Amino acid sequence: MFDTCLEHVRASVPLVHNITNYVTVNDVANAILACGGRPIMSDEPEDVMDITAICSGLNINIGTLNAQTIQGMKLAGGKARALGHPILLDPVGAGASRLRTKTAVELMAQCHPDVIRGNISEIKALAVDSSSTRGVDADAADAVTEDNLSEMVQFAKDFAAHAGCIVAITGAIDLVSDGKQCYVIRNGRPEMGRITGTGCMLSGIATAYLSANRDNACEAVAAAVSMMGLAGEIGYAALQPGEGNASYRNRIIDAVYNMDGETLRKDAKYDMR
């Protein structure tokens, strides 16, 4: 159950190493703290292997790439894989530039992430460009809707099976699949897209959930996705007249902080396919 995944995070307080983009690094740190984990941010190649070694999980986000961070990501990913620590890859902007797509594909091949979390455009780019995902439908739609839900669930399952990991496709309808089953999640608000960093925060939270629920990884990622969407709903309902996206960001983090198992169990909106 999703509430059990939440309780495991709060009980174990996992330490998460984040190599993430400088646009949202503070929000990612605060979101991990709010969900019950502890964040460390480090991308220096001479530092990352030591930091990864003391953490429970690794969150790699390619939102603001440079030569140093790419090297740091590969070193940290290799160390985490050698230690058996869970790795989440957030391929921000994959498909938008050759560097981003190439880096994401290389990280998939070299680090073997346990989870890939992105929007449908990013996941499609990886499905097209990664040799490990040949055979996955490259003509998947540009959004997950009720009308194409069956086809997109199959796409998520196929990509997860070929990539050998859990795949979380986030958008108006979220899909989380391990290649065999797929959670279809309908929590969230469209206004969350008006805040820079909700996806980045989710990746950090999902890594904490994954780290605290190693034996139930797919459900843990689905729980994190649903919880973040529910926090978006709660935060939006709490907005006061005159408040905008800056206040909304803070209210989402507050909602993550105050989330409890009963609320998540009662208000999570999902089904299995």
Question: Distance (Å, rounded) from C-alpha 143 to C-alpha 94?
Answer: 16
pTM greater than the 0.85 cutoff? yes
Residue with tokens 């985490």: 80
Identity of the amino acid at 232: G
Q: Which residue has the tokens 């990013």?
A: 122
CB count within 10 Å of CB 179 equals: 18
* Pairwise CA distance, residues 144 & 24, whole Å: 25
pLDDT of the residue at 136: 46
pLDDT, tens digit, 9 for 90 and up, residues 202-245: 999 999 999 999 999 999 999 999 999 999 999 999 999 999 99
Q: Please tell me the predicted confidence (pLDDT) of residue 134.
A: 42
Whole-number Å distance between alpha carbons of 214 and 218: 9
For the chain, the maximum distance between any two Cα atoms, rounded to a whole number of angstroms, is 51
- Return d(Cα 239, Cα 145) in angstroms, integer: 27
Between vectors from CA 263 to CA 258 and to CA 267, what angle results, nearest 5°?
Answer: 130
Phi (first) and psi of residue 195, to 5 degrees: -115, 125
Class of domain 2-272: alpha beta
pLDDT tens digit sequence for 40-81:
999 999 999 999 999 999 999 999 999 999 999 999 999 999
Which pLDDT does position 73 carry in this prediction? Answer: 98
Q: Is the pLDDT of residue 139 over 70?
A: no
Give the DSSP H or E segment for 58: strand 57-61
CA distance 26 to 45: 20
Question: Coil, strand or helix: which one is 257?
Answer: helix
Whether the Cβ atoms of residue 252 and residue 245 lie closer than 8 Å to each other:
no
Q: How far apart are CA 54 and CA 199, in angstroms?
A: 25
Q: Which residues contact 84 (CB under 8 A, 6 or more apart)?
A: none
Residue 144, beta-bridge partner list: none
Task: Work out the angle at residue 179's Cα, subtended by the Cα atoms of residues 177 and 185, and round it to the nearest 5 degrees.
Answer: 15
Q: Which two tokens stand for residue 223?
A: 């729980």
